[in-house]
């Protein structure tokens, strides 16, 4: 199973080189992902956003509840640092 970052790199690279795939990814992300031989967690809603010269995005991970001392848990750190891929919304790991 590919890590989330590997899967994202493959999707972005294909979208950059294939205008039809880019359109499909924007219109129906689940079908586009499936066409690449990848799967997602059942019931996951995916939204594709396209950056422009005037607008960018910061994507915050969903599982970052700080501990009582304000620090992230080891699992949360792994998820945001590209570690284990735990709770990966794209590949369903975790």
> Token match 């594709």: residue?
48
Query: Can you give the pLDDT at residue 68?
Result: 53
Task: Give the 3-state secondary structure of the chain.
Answer: CCCHHHHHHHHHHHHHHCHHHHHHHHHCHHHHHHHCCCCCCCCCCCCCCCCCCCCCCCCCCCCCCCCCCCCCCHHHHHHHHCCCCCCCCCCCCC
- The answer to whether the pTM exceeds 0.75 is no
Domains of the chain, by residue range, sit at 4-81
A 10 A CB-CB count for 44 gives 13
Ordered per-residue pLDDT tens for the chain, 94 residues = 568 889 999 999 999 999 999 999 999 999 999 999 999 888 999 999 999 999 999 988 876 566 555 566 666 666 666 554 445 556 555 5
From residue 77, alpha-carbon distances to 21, 87, 88 in Å are: 32, 12, 13
Query: Can you give the pLDDT at residue 41?
Result: 87
């Amino acid at each position: 199973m590919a890590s989330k970052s590997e899967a994202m790199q493959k999707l972005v690279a294909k979208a950059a080189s294939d205008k039809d795939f880019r359109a499909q990814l924007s219109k129906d992300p689940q079908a586009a992902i499936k066409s690449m031989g990848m799967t997602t967690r059942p019931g996951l809603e995916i939204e594709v956003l396209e950056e422009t010269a005037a607008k960018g995005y910061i994507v915050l991970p969903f599982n970052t509840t700080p501990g009582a001392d304000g620090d992230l848990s080891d699992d949360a750190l792994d998820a945001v640092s590209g570690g284990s891929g735990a709770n990966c919304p794209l590949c369903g790991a975790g």
